[in-house]
Structure formats: C-alpha cells, structure tokens
Amino acid sequence: MNKKLRKTVIAGNWKMNKTPAEARELADAIRPLVKDAGCGVILCVPYVDLETVLKAVKGSSIQVGAENCHWATSGAFTGEVSAPMLTSMGVEYVILGHSERRNYFGETDETVNKRLRAALDAGLNTIVCVGESLRQREEGVTNEHVTIQTKIALGGVSAEELKRVIIAYEPIWAIGTGKTATAEQADEVCGTIRGAIAELYGRAAADAMTIQYGGSMNAKNAADLLARPNVDGGLIGGASLRPADFAEIVKAAGK
C-alpha cells in the first residue's frame, strides 16, 4: 500500500450467496466491526440482496456494489440488469469482468469494456478484474496477458473517468482454490498493471490508481499482501462471508 498516493479499498464479493434475510444478518454483523476502518469498505452483493444491504449499512461508511451489469440501458436481455437500474437504487459500485463471469458466462475483454463504458456513463464506480490462468502463468505470459486485458478494458475511458475505476488482479488459479499468489507475485503483477496504466494515462494517474489483489486473500495472509507497495486492497470472496475474518482484513488495510 501507498496511502500517500492512493486509496486503499477492501471489497467483499459475496458471489451467489445469501438470501435477503441472511444478507441482512451478515451486513448487520459486519457493520460494527468495520466502523473505524482506515480504508474504503465495499460490500458487493447479489442483485436480490442490494436493497436489503443498502438499508442495513445506511448511515455508515460502507458502500454497496453489484456483481455485474449489462452494457445496454434497457432492452430484450432477459435476466440482465442495467447500470441505470443499479444507480436508481443507490448502488455506487459494480464488479466487472470477474473470472467466474469470463469462465462460466462467456465474458470477453471486449464485453467487459462495453460494460465498463455503460457503468461509467451511468455514474457508477467500478472494479474491473483481470488475471491469468494457471497455464498462462506456467507458460510465462502473465504480464503480457494482464497488460492486454487492462488496455482493452480501458479502451475509450478518459483520464477523468479513470478516477472511478479500480483494477482487481485476481489470478484465476487462486480463486476459490485456497491457493494464493505469494506477496511478491501479487506485487509484481499489480506493478505490471500500474505500468500499463502509466503507458495509457501517464505516471501520475498510475500512481493514483487503486489496484487490489483478489486471489484468496484472507485474515492470515492479508497483512503480508497489503504490505507490498503495489497492492492497494483486496477483492475478497469467501472471507467476506465471515464477519470476523473480513474485519481482520479491513484492519490490516487500515494500518
């Protein structure tokens, strides 16, 4: 982390978990544990839980995000949710391009860019995910891969709009597997992403960019990961469903 240059943000990604009643219970448990957070805290939750969680965290510093949005504002896209629908509810953030969306639902770099364009146009803040597969890491193309993903995702995004973008580096091989990139590996790739930002927007913009690590960060490894200069927070999966663990990560990010 480098808090003198950029904001540290911990975002929970609840994925496809929690009914509205369960979401209320979880949000109520998390809220007092992070009330003195020294970093940004976001809860990204399923669509059906958004209204419940927005009410549960009202008046706190916790912000609420969705887990995806469509690139169209409306239309014949059964089952999809648009960015204006999210902002109309008071949602402030949206995750885009998560590896599970890419792997299971056909997301591409190009559709991530279209979704990002729609989200920014609607006034949302965004968390854009990039990351390599195990094969890509083994073949030594990690840096090239995440650089391409980053540049395509940000196509057409202005320097001013970039201020509403967070990049989350999530190595696919570490998502939900219990495996975690070493702190050195995470810092190296986050640094590569920062280099790509510098190529597109200049060094000052790159230095101001929040870049999270999103591969199985937990209460035990968070402090080590967050101590690295290019790791500015975390996109937290499983640990975000456990209030005490999530609070420990937030605490580590606040130091």
Q: What is the pLDDT of residue 223?
A: 96
Report if residue 205 sits inside a domain: yes
Task: Judge contact between 10 and 233, C-beta under 8 A.
Answer: yes
Q: Stretch 158-173: mean pLDDT, rounded?
A: 96
Report if residue 178 sits inside a domain: yes
Q: Stretch 134-156: mean pLDDT, rounded?
A: 96
Report if residue 1 sits inside a domain: no
With a cut of 80, say whether residue 177 has pLDDT above it: no
Q: What's the CA gap between 155 and 157, in Å, rounded? A: 6
With a cut of 80, say whether residue 180 has pLDDT above it: no
Report if residue 218 sits inside a domain: yes
Task: Judge contact between 84 and 91, C-beta under 8 A.
Answer: no
Q: What is the pLDDT of residue 78?
A: 98
Angle between helices 183-201 and 142-153 (to 10 degrees): 40
With a cut of 90, say whether residue 178 has pLDDT above it: no
Q: What is the pLDDT of residue 173?
A: 86
Report if residue 4 sits inside a domain: no
255: number of Cβ within 10 Å: 12
Residues 67-107 have pLDDT tens digits of 999 999 999 999 999 999 999 999 999 999 999 999 999 99
Q: Stretch 218-242: mean pLDDT, rounded?
A: 96
Task: Judge contact between 193 and 152, C-beta under 8 A.
Answer: no
Q: What is the pLDDT of residue 108?
A: 97
| Mean of the per-residue pLDDT values of the chain | 96
What's the total number of domains in the chain?
Answer: 1
Write the DSSP assignment of 27-51 as a string of letters: HHHHHHHTTT-SSEEEEE--GGGHH
Report if residue 243 sits inside a domain: yes
Residues acting as catalytic residues? 98, 170
Q: How confident is the model at residue 208 (pLDDT cuts 50, 70, 90)?
A: very high
Q: How confident is the model at residue 174 (pLDDT cuts 50, 70, 90)?
A: confident
Q: What's the CA gap between 180 and 234, in Å, rounded? A: 12
pTM over 0.95: yes
Q: What's the CA gap between 248 and 218, in Å, rounded? A: 8
Give the 3-state secondary structure of residue 81: coil
Q: What's the CA gap between 39 and 69, in Å, rounded? A: 25
Q: Give the residue carrying structure tokens 């790159």.
A: 206
Q: Write out the residue range of the structural domain in which residue 205 sits.
A: 9-253
With a cut of 80, say whether residue 176 has pLDDT above it: no
Q: What is the pLDDT of residue 234?
A: 98
Residues 106-142 have pLDDT tens digits of 999 999 999 999 999 999 999 999 999 989 999 999 9
Lowest-confidence range among 66-70, 139-143, 172-176, 195-199?
172-176
Report if residue 184 sits inside a domain: yes
CATH number of the structural domain spanning residue 187: 3.20.20.70
Residues 36-76 have pLDDT tens digits of 999 999 999 999 999 999 999 999 999 999 999 999 999 99
Report if residue 28 sits inside a domain: yes
Q: What is the pLDDT of residue 179?
A: 77
Q: What is the pLDDT of residue 34?
A: 98
Q: How confident is the model at residue 175 (pLDDT cuts 50, 70, 90)?
A: confident
